[in-house]
Amino acid sequence: MKPDQKATCPSAEPKAGAVLLGVVKQNGEVNLLSQRIEIDETFIETASQGRDLGQRFRFASPCAAKGCANWSGHHCMVLDIARQLAHIEPLSQFTLPACSIRDSCRWFMQDGADACRICPKINTGFTEIETV
């Protein structure tokens, strides 16, 4: 990450300028996109005509840190909660998924590859983690 670059939250609201991080698959897991795609108002308006955006996509935008309810004071707590709820495959069987924000991802900065094991299990925050 560049010195002047802000950390990126990988579970953000769909707002113009946010990055389309991934698409939720039928099994509830997120297929992370390797290409960086920024969304605009047109995307939000069009995509909102279907099911709730948060159930179909994941978005990323600058981490609000202490301005966010999930901030503990020194780290993001979403991963802590997700780790307790989601079935996570052993690290030995894991390959890092392609991801467009890894160079600034808040979760990757905190937990490295372990974060990327949990990340695809999360859609619309920790209330909808797949436990399969």
Give the one residue of 39, 78, 105, 129 binding ligand SF4; rule: CB under 6 A.
Answer: 105
Q: What is the closest distance, in whole angstroms, from the C-beta atom of residue 78 to ligand SF4 in the complex?
A: 10
Site for ligand SF4 in 28-87 (CB under 6 A): 32
Whole-number Å distance between alpha carbons of 99 and 33: 6
Convert 18-78 into a string of H (helix), E (strand) and C (coil).
Answer: CEEEEEECCCCCEEECCCCCECCHHHHHHHCCCCCHHHHEEEEEECCHHHCCCECCCCECH
Whole-number Å distance between alpha carbons of 89 and 71: 26
* 108 scored as a contact of ligand SF4 (CB under 6 A): yes
Q: Which is nearer to ligand SF4, 57 or 108 (CB)?
A: 108
Give the one residue of 43, 97, 125, 128 binding ligand SF4; rule: CB under 6 A.
Answer: 97
* 14 scored as a contact of ligand SF4 (CB under 6 A): no
Site residues, ligand SF4 (CB under 6 A)? 10, 21, 32, 97, 99, 101-102, 105, 107-108, 115-116, 119
